[in-house]
Structure 1
């Protein structure tokens, strides 16, 4: 064995997300690959309902064996197998709170998960896995940030204050320049 080689295959959670998805065939998937950007981050507040979207291409639908939404790459949030939801395979923390919601439409490839009501402990990474054979493949991950109830109002006010401060500073700078030149 070569020095520095452990001989064990890295697990997906041992590898940065972008590396974990390299080499996977996205054929038939209409969605975003896992990456760390604003497109794959969703914010919500405690007590709210949240829907995380996942879409697959129509050419893939007929070969899908299962769909699994997982929390932090481990706990099953929602499992769809044999043309039905498998509540027995759902993690305890999501029983009675996670469903396909009103927008679930297997025939069109719309495979969202709806979680209600949101709890602080629901913050984390949600991944949609689709299986067309034995092993499900992850092709979409969304980071869910859960804020305390009322935090959204505070964040909006903070943003407004920041924008007003920038405008005021810019205006004062312009006035300062005009005054200095006189």
Structure 2
């Protein structure tokens, strides 16, 4: 059973991360300014921990272990959050039809395999990798490696033109977007990319 997350869940996480990031940046800037003496000479010479807090921590043996456990829990929560995030924007499937009868899902691999084979058949294309991005508003990301001396504009036009048209017809989405990344092979098997 898979859980679906709506757009508001992702937006809420982004807002929370933005606010947390801004707070941490502000705290860092204040600490740098205080350490540099911009906020007054006393601030740069003052200890990080208040003397009363240092005495309390020294008197109570449980204080630092409790701080360590709290930090460990925060780290575990962060790891759990990272583990449930989508990896690399890769989409496993997307909805072809959504109506009152239900949702018809298509595995992304079915589309990407067909598009990769279609682009690889284009004259001048040496290799092709395709993936689908964004489940709610699918878009194709096509990475094509062309042969030396190939007609690069022709390969790009064929990838964005007829190949994309066939993909749109196959999935029944005339609004299917596409991004093509054309690369030329270099020495030692490396690929130089042109976008």
Smaller-chain TM-score bracket: under 0.3
Q: Relative contact order: is structure 1 or structure 2 higher (C-alpha 8 Å, sep ≥ 6)?
A: 1
TM-score w.r.t. length of structure 2: 0.24
